[in-house]
Amino acid sequence: MKVLITGANGQLGKDLVQVFGQDSHHEIYAFGRDKLDITDADQCSHVVSSLRPDVVIHSASYTAVDQAESDIEGAYRVNADGTRNVVVAAERAGSRFCYISTDYVFDGTSSVPYREYDNTNPQSVYGQSKRAGEVLVQSLSSRFYIVRTSWVYGIYGSNFVKTMLKLGKEKSALKVVDDQVGSPTYTLDLSRFLLELTATEKYGLYHASNQGQCSWYEFAKAIFEESGLEVEVNPCATKDFPRPAPRPGFSLLDSLAIRTNGFTELRPWREALKDFLKRLEDGQS
């Protein structure tokens, strides 16, 4: 199967290339922003039509959440227009299309986990632009998977786990917000699910994050406990760290579609964290 991956140099993209590449049945075509400008419709059309992949996994995204508040056009140019360019090219080539989305499409006011077909109400420009991408995928692709995920971390790039480990070696005490609840997602586990999903014709919306829930404060405590760092972690409120973009207070995703379609749910988040830390310590890539 021919697989084209956008955002291939990103945190998720690199794990996607690795996981899909380990399957001898797949030909991988990996495109970072240096090789494919998704905001260029003609370039997208040329690349996809020449390769004619069986599936396109679109992980390229504008992810600078706070910057997006003042760079509205930039966020929409990538997350909406760029997604449209890739999905139109994929549809013309007869390719299945997999779009990676986010928990930020919800407003975070729920008290129960969000299911795939619950109403969206994004509060940030980032979330609004990603939701726009979802709408375009649903409108323009006849065979799509939209996969929302949350609190992503992995071996490659910057993320919360790496930041905590760095700060934990520099400081004896930290404050971390305790009023935002969700579920961390390990990119390797997400990549393995996408490998399973895109081999099927079970199209539609999916929520994919590691099982269980925690606050950022609880996540930080777990990181230090599992890594053996002695750091005092103190809870604080979101208002103590004002940032340009609003964050969902509760963005736990219910993986209902994974269960009803017979897929295996991602493992518990703490188990995934242990494996990540071991991989990081061993210097694996």
Q: What is the dihedral of CA 132, 134, 138, 141, to 10 degrees?
A: 100
Cα separation, 284 vs 270, in Å, equals 19
Helix (H) or strand (E) holding 257: helix 256-260
Q: 266, 189 in Cβ contact below 8 A? A: yes
Neighbours of 113 (CB within 10 A): 19
Helices marked H in 209-255: 216-227
Q: Is 76 a catalytic residue?
A: no
Catalytic one of 29, 62, 126, 217: 126
What are the structure tokens assigned to 64, written together? 């600078």
Q: 8, 30 in Cβ contact below 8 A? A: yes
Residues 6+ apart with CB under 8 A from 109: 249, 250
Residues 6+ apart with CB under 8 A from 1: 25, 26, 27, 54, 55, 199
Render 162-226 in DSSP notation, one character per residue. HHHHHHHHH-SEEEEE-S-EE--EEHHHHHHHHHHHTTS---EEEE---BS-EEHHHHHHHHHHH
What are the structure tokens assigned to 278, written together? 């071991």
Active site residues: 126
